[in-house]
Amino acid sequence: MDEFAFRKGCTYGTVLVDVEAGRVVDVLPDRTSETFAAWLQSHPGAEIICRDRASAYTKAVKEAAPHALEVADRWHLL
């Protein structure tokens, strides 16, 4: 998962990718912890989450997928 700009400097979203299948799973309308946590709760079963070090994503994973292994790095290399 990573954020991207719908409109640079103004509006950001989050893209979720299944690394094993090599496909985009979903695109979230923002990059808030609430939105990502809600998505994780409605799609249980994430085992490994590769993300950047943004605190919003950390909070969402701890809240909604506490058993998932987190890989937090600058370049999202898994």
Residue 24 within a domain: yes
Q: Which domain holds residue 23?
A: 2-72
Residue 78 within a domain: no
Residue 35 within a domain: yes
Residue 56 within a domain: yes
Phi-psi label, residue 7: left if phi above 0, alpha if psi -120 to 50, beta otherwise: beta
Cα–Cα separations (whole angstroms), residue 29 to 26, 41, 71: 10, 17, 23
pTM: 0.87
Which pLDDT does position 76 carry in this prediction?
Answer: 65
pLDDT range class, residue 9, cuts 50, 70, 90: confident
Which pLDDT does position 1 carry in this prediction?
Answer: 87
Domains: count for the chain: 1
pLDDT tens track for 13-63 = 999 999 889 899 999 999 999 999 999 999 999 999 988 888 899 999 999
Which pLDDT does position 78 carry in this prediction?
Answer: 61
Residue 26 within a domain: yes
